[in-house]
Structure 1
Amino acid sequence: MTDLTDHAKNLLARALCARLPTLPTAVFAALGTGGSDATGLTGEPAGTGYARQRATFTGTGMQRNVDAIRFTFTGAAGTMTHIGLFDAVTGGNALTWSTLEAPLTVAGPGVAIFTGNALTVTPE
C-alpha cells in the first residue's frame, strides 16, 4: 500500500516538524469496494459477520504483515476490490488504502485469508 490518507499525511507532516502527533497504537486491516486519499477505504461490508482484523507489521522501510489476517463472513458480501488500514477496530481514522491485486468475491459464508508477508506498506 502506497496511498496514504490525508489523515496519515498530516500525522507524518507533524512528526517531521517535531510536533509529536498521537500515533496509532494498533492497526486494523479492512476490506471494501473503493478508496481515496481523502477518505481511505470505502464500502466495508455490513451484516455479513465481517469485522476489521488486527494486523502487526515488521520491517525497515517496507513494512510487511507478520501473521496471516483472516476475514470471516457469515453470508454474501459482494466483491471486495480494496484493502485498507485503520487505527481502530470500528470507526477511527483511515491510514492507508490500496486496490487488491485481484477482486475478492464473497458469495456466501467463508474465510478470506491474507498470508503473512502478503500486505506491504511501502514508503514512496
Structure 2
Amino acid sequence: MIDYKLQLFLEKELLSIWENRIEFKLEMKLYRDFGLFGYDIDYFLKRFTKEFNVTISSSFKFNERFYPENESLSDILRSLFQKTINLFLHKSIYEKELKDLSIMELQEAINNGILN
C-alpha cells in the first residue's frame, strides 16, 4: 500500500491541477504511465529525494532506467543514423527497453532511505 504522504507528493508532481485525483498503484511506472524521461525525471527525483530524505545509491544507473532528453540536432541525427545502420545489418531498430522506475520502488526507497 502506498504511503499517504507519497500519494500526495505524486499527485502534486505528476498530475496537473485540472486532472481528477487518482489512486496511484504500486505497479505504476514513471515513464510508462506518466511519460517522465530526460530532464523531467531528473527534476522529479531531486524533489523526491529532498521531500523524503532519500539517498540515491551509487549502483543506481540512470541510463539503464530512463530515456535521455534529445538535446540537439546532432543527437537526433546520430539516433537516426544508428537506426538506419541497424536496419541494414538486420538488427532491431527499436531502442532497448529500459527498466523504468515503479512507485513500489519509490515506496521502498522511503522505507529504506535509499533508492537502489
User: TM (normalized to structure 1)?
Assistant: 0.23
User: TM (normalized to structure 2)?
Assistant: 0.24
Higher relative contact order structure (alpha carbons within 8 Å, sequence separation ≥ 6):
2
Q: Which has the higher helix share?
A: 2
